[in-house]
Amino acid sequence: MNNTFLKGVFLLALVLPIFASTQYNLEIGFKVGPSNYLGEIGGKDKPSRSFVSDMQVKYTRFAVGAFARYRIVRFLAVQAAINHLKIQGSDALSTNPGRRGRNLNFKNDITDVQLRSDLYVFGINDVGHTGRYILDFKTYVFAGIAGFMHNPQGTYQSQWIDLQPLKTEGQSYSRFSFSVPAGAGFYMTFLRKHRFGLELTYHTTFTDYLDDISTVYADGLSGVSAEMANKTHLVAEEEGIPHIANYAPGNKRGDPNDNDAFIYAQFYYSYVLRGKNSFYRQNYSWMKRRGGRVRRHRAKF
């Protein structure tokens, strides 16, 4: 877990009082779950990506996060979140001959900060219809904008080293980029305060270098850069693998027409804080009536 993630959590904690002062339906919590990616390194026979079917399950890693969400109106909420995740891949696990011959690998630590809108599409306020409103259920879809830092690494002499400074394709790229997170989720709220949920988030990014692979083999590289750019010579001869000449400078190394993407599914827990302004009275006044004293009126004749 890097310093960027810890700083982001600290910043999120600082802005929570601002959200709380609005007295909306506020919750704060944490998330954890598996993460993976879609890019040039995949596991299927075809050279192009085919959504989640191209992921390498063996290299599924984890994503952890913290968030604050408050409900503006009955069907809409906004959420601010920070997540730290790992992604990884290797051509050695691919069944595609071209990828196996390329013989590249990577891992990447990503920290994303996002702001999004959650749209509630279905809900049950009283699961089981007990009349006590102990458990509720909600489903939602969401979309937003995120900025993230990443740092792709590859193996060199059995050590992981940073790839971005090496310019393995003869050009530089930024370690900071933007993405559009979108997905769906659901949650159940127990005793009106404890919320347990699950959501799936897909990040469409604006970079093709999460795995340090995008265009063609570069010419004029030397030293470590040359060794990390082209590892074809390390592959033992296998049936079906293209000739080494197919990996010469100028030939295809990646696919610049499709940017990389990352995805994670997260279980989460949050603690719900409810204000007592007009929004609260309009939507949750029944709670007080059920748990408090019932006012009696004397009939007048």
* Domain 3-149+174-208+259-291: top CATH class: mainly beta
**Residues 179-194: what's their mean pLDDT?**
94
**Residues 62-89: what's their mean pLDDT?**
96
Q: What pLDDT, on the 0 to 100 scale, is given for residue 119?
A: 97
Coil/strand/helix, residue 69: strand
DSSP string covering 180-233? EEEEEEEEEEETTTEEEEEEEEEEEES-S-SSS--SBPPSS--HHHHHHH--GG
In total, the chain counts a number of residues equal to 301
Residue with tokens 């191209």: 54
pLDDT tens string 86-134:
999 999 999 888 999 999 999 999 999 999 999 999 988 878 777 777 8
pLDDT tens string 43-71:
777 666 667 778 999 999 999 999 999 99
The model's pTM is 0.82
Output b/e per residue, 273-290; b: 16+ Cβ within 10 A.
Answer: bbbeeebbeeeeeeeeee
Q: Is the pLDDT at 285 greater than 80, yes or no?
A: no
Spans of all domains in the chain: 3-149+174-208+259-291
CA atoms within 13 Å, Cβ hemisphere of 194:
4
CA atoms within 13 Å, Cβ hemisphere of 139:
3
pLDDT tens string 210-260:
999 999 999 999 999 999 999 998 887 777 888 889 999 999 999 999 999
Q: Quick one: which of 265, 5, 206, 32 has its CA closest to 110?
A: 5
